Amino acid sequence: MATGVKRAFKYRFYPTNAQAAELSRTFGCVRKVYNLALAARTEAWTLRAERITYNATSAMLTAWKKTEELAYLGDVSSVPLQQALRHLQTAFTHFFAKWAKYPRFKSRKKSRKSAEYTTSAFRFRDGELTLAKMTQPLDIVWSRPLPEGAQPSTVTVSQDAAGRWFVSLLVEDPGIRALPATDTAVGVDAGLDHLLTLSSGEKITNPRHERKDRARLAKAQRELSRKAKGDGANRAKARRKVARIHARIADRRRDHLQKLTTRLVRENQTIVIEDLTVRNLLKNGRLARAISDAAWSEFRSMLEYKAQWCGREVIAVDRWFPSSKLCSACGRLQARMPLHVRTWTCDCGVTHDRDGNAAKNLLAAGLAVSACGAGVRPQRSTPGGQSATKQETLQREP
């Protein structure tokens, strides 16, 4: 892979009171401009069937700043406001391409607080980052070094629900390059009892991060529910306590997945996974919490972008492929395979671990796709009865 891959490095920082106030004003203005532009574009299309472009909304922004009501928009850097309009344009592009739903208005309480600065709105010198409208550099905790000689092209500042401040620097990383090719391949079956089962027989434990903090989270949520609704300080304090627990869970989950996906990409040339529709699986009320905690979608996302960086291949086998019910030894398809059955014996005499057998079948199917480009579609029914894949079984399980 060619050098110069763009990569974001995220760090925590601790703003002064003045910097926090300036960034909070910027977040509010970014949200306001985004909502005004979205309302204008929606109204133009609804009433006049007219499509408003980014250039038109940029001209609107100039006019808004000249009004008495919105004059405060001129008190913050104009770059994050222009970037908000560009993000809205991207959202509409994805909508018209049918990649996403119609853009939604940003909420003061629920939407992510962030502002994006381009090179004209920040200065990065000698390891110090200073944003527009600020006189002092940010107090950043450099938890890992940037690539030598790196110069950020974009800086994004954000604040999470727990009140923590983060800055993300987008730089070119020459250290990202293709790894030496190998002949190793692995099938990966995602599950709940074990987070992953590999075709090699290895099983990776599911850490269940949410379950470990469930009691603390429930207690904090009960305390929050007892606070009077509104903008009171006590309710805000209780809300931040709940958010900190959620952040702790998410941080540990993300760290585990980062290490796991890095290992899989480094050790294998080809990685075969199952193309699960997690959104549909979450409709199972009994398993939704466990599936969310397993973060299968996040695992796949990390695996795919790291594989692209390192010159590896990730193959997603069709979600209807009956990996759990197909004997990896003789190829016989079982009529039924309820979710509670963890081991089973085929008519050929081979006893299978459910997840290990599924991982082997995924690997074989994925290699077949890689070799000839054939689709992987299962037999939807057999003389012995209607087939049901893991996807169907999880959705039907009460």
Give pTM, 2 decimals.
0.82
Pick the catalytic residue from 116, 173, 293, 355.
355
Per the annotation, the verdict on 274 as an active-site residue is yes
- Same domain membership, residue 271 and residue 323: yes
pLDDT digits (tens, 9 = 90+) for 77-113: 999 999 999 999 999 999 999 999 999 999 988 899 9
Q: Which residue has the tokens 């913050």?
A: 76
- Same domain membership, residue 148 and residue 192: no
- Same domain membership, residue 256 and residue 196: yes
CA distance 143 to 165: 14
Pick the catalytic residue from 173, 189, 210, 293.
189
What's residue 384's pLDDT?
Answer: 39
Inside any domain, residue 373: yes
CA distance 121 to 155: 9
Q: Which residue has the tokens 């997603």?
A: 316
Inside any domain, residue 138: yes
Q: For residue 144, what is the DSSP state?
A: S
Q: 307 vs 1, 114, 268, 361, CA distance in Å? A: 11, 29, 10, 21
The segments of the chain whose pLDDT lies below 50 read 1-2, 375-398
Inside any domain, residue 235: no
- Same domain membership, residue 84 and residue 166: yes
Identity of the residue numbered 248: R
- Same domain membership, residue 107 and residue 197: no
Inside any domain, residue 18: yes
- The domain tally of the chain equals 2
What's residue 117's pLDDT?
Answer: 97
Domain that residue 196 falls in: 178-206+252-398
The CATH number of the domain holding residue 261 is 3.30.420
Per the annotation, the verdict on 251 as an active-site residue is no
Per the annotation, the verdict on 223 as an active-site residue is no
Inside any domain, residue 214: no
Is residue 21 within 8 Å of 76, Cβ to Cβ? no
Is residue 206 within 8 Å of 195, Cβ to Cβ? yes
- Same domain membership, residue 194 and residue 153: no
Residues 129-138 as b or e (16 or more Cβ within 10 Å = b): bebbebeebb
Which of 116, 150, 173 is the last residue in one of the domains? 173
Nearest one of 205, 183, 198, 184 to 360, comparing CA atoms: 198
Which of 114, 148, 173 is the last residue in one of the domains? 173
Inside any domain, residue 216: no
- Same domain membership, residue 191 and residue 149: no
Is residue 65 within 8 Å of 71, Cβ to Cβ? yes
- Same domain membership, residue 169 and residue 182: no
Pick the catalytic residue from 22, 173, 210, 274.
274
- Same domain membership, residue 198 and residue 339: yes
Inside any domain, residue 218: no
Cα torsion 143, 144, 146, 148: sign: positive
- Same domain membership, residue 370 and residue 328: yes
What's residue 71's pLDDT?
Answer: 94
Inside any domain, residue 219: no
- Same domain membership, residue 190 and residue 70: no
Residue 324: HSE in the Cβ half-sphere, 13 Å Cα cutoff: 26
- Same domain membership, residue 191 and residue 137: no
CA distance 295 to 253: 8
